[in-house]
Chain A
Amino acid sequence: MEFGLTEEQQQIREEVRRFAENEIVPVAGEYDEEEKYPHDVVDKAAEMGLTGPYIPMEYGGAGYSILDTSIITEELFSYDPGIALSIVSTSFGCEAIMNFGTEDQKERYLEPIAKGEKISGAAISEPDTGSDVSSVSTRAEKDGDEWVINGNKMWITNGTVGDFFVVLCETNPDAEGRYNGFSQIVVESDRDGFSAEKITGKLGIRASDTAELVFDNVRVPEENLIGTRDAAFMQQMQFFDETRTAVAAQGVGIAKGATRAALEYAQDREQFGQSISEFQAIQHKLAEMATDTEAARNLTYKSAWKVDQGEDITKLASMAKEYASRVAVDVADEAVQIHGGAGYVDDFPVERFYRDAKITQIYEGTSEIQKNVIAREMLGKGF
Chain B
Amino acid sequence: MKILVTVKEVATVEDEFEIEGTEIADQYLGADLNEWDDYAVEEAVQLQEAGIADEVVTVTIGPEDCEQTIRQALAKGADRAIRVWDDALEGVDLLDVEAKTEILRGVVEEEDPDLVLSGVQSGDDSWGATGVSLAEDLGFEWAAVVNHLEHDLEDGIASVRRELEGGVEELTDVELPAVLTIQTGINEPRYASLRGIRQAQRKELDVQSLADVGVDEGVVDSDLELTDMYEPESESDVTVWEGSAEETAGELGDLLRDKGVAP
The reply to whether A15 and B198 contact each other, CB–CB distance below 8 Å, is no
A7 CB within 8 Å of chain B: yes
Q: By CB atoms of chain B within 10 A, which of A18, A48, A50, A53 has the most?
A: A48
- CB closest residue in chain A, given B76: A15
Instruction: Convert A60-94 into 0s and 1s, putting 1 for each residue whose CB lies closer than 8 angstroms to a CB of B.
Output: 01111000000010000000000000000000000
Given contacts A62-B198, A63-B198, A64-B198, contact A11 B71 (CB under 8 A): yes
Task: Tell me, yes or no, whether B259 is within 8 Å of chain A by CB.
Answer: no
Q: Is the CB of A57 within 8 A of B192?
A: no
A233 interface hit (Cβ, 8 Å): no
Task: Report the number of A-B residue pairs with Cβ-Cβ less than 8 Å.
Answer: 50
- Is A47 close to B, CB under 8 A? yes
B194–A53 touching, CB < 8 Å: yes
**Any chain B CB within 8 A of the CB of A19?**
yes
CB distance B191 to A15 under 8 Å?
yes
The answer on a CB contact under 8 Å between A8 and B191 is no
A22's nearest neighbour on chain B, judged by CB, is: B191
> Of the candidates B68, B75, B192, B198, which one forms a contact with A10 in the assembled complex, judged by CB atoms under 8 Å apart?
B68
- Of B68, B192, B194, B195, which is within 8 A of A7 by CB? B68
Contact (Cβ within 8 A) A48 B201: no
Query: How far, in angstroms, from A121 to B75 measured CA to CA in the complex?
Result: 30
Give the contacting residue for A49; candidates B72, B195, B200; CB below 8 A: B195
Does the CB pair B193–A12 fall under 8 Å?
no
Which of B190, B193, B195, B201 makes the CB contact (< 8 A) with A8? B201
For residue B71, which residues in chain A have a CB less than 8 angstroms away from its CB? 7, 11
Give the chain B neighbours of A72 by CB distance below 8 A. Answer: 194
Q: Give Cα distance in the complex from A11 to B73, angstroms.
A: 12
Which of A7, A10, A47 meets B193, CB within 8 Å?
A47
Q: Which of B68, B75, B191 has the most CB of A within 10 A?
A: B191
Within 8 A of A (CB), among B70-126: 71-72, 75
- B240 CB to nearest chain A CB (Å): 18
Could you tell me the distance between the alpha carbons of A62 and B200 in the complex, rounded to whole angstroms?
12
Are A19 and B68 touching (Cβ within 8 A)? no
Partner of A11, one of B68, B190, B195: B68
Q: Which of A1-33 contact B (CB under 8 A)?
A: 7-8, 10-12, 15, 18-19
The residue from B67, B190, B194 contacting A12, defined by CB atoms under 8 A apart? B194
Q: Say how far B128's CB is from chain A's closest CB, in angstroms.
A: 25
Q: How far is the CA of A365 from the CA of B69 in the complex (A)?
A: 40
A12 touches B68 (CB 8 A): no
Task: Report B186-219 CB contacts with A as 1/0, cut-off 8 Å.
Answer: 0000111111111011000000000000000000
- Look across to chain B and name the residue whose beta carbon is closest to the beta carbon of A15: B192
Q: A11-B200, A62-B197 are in contact. List 6 more A-B contacts (CB 8 A).
A: A7-B68, A7-B71, A12-B197, A15-B191, A48-B192, A62-B195
12 A-B pairs whose Cβ atoms sit less than 8 Å apart in the complex:
A8-B197, A8-B198, A8-B201, A11-B197, A15-B72, A15-B191, A19-B191, A47-B190, A49-B194, A49-B195, A53-B194, A62-B195
Chain A residues with CB under 8 Å of chain B are 7-8, 10-12, 15, 18-19, 47-50, 53, 57, 61-64, 72
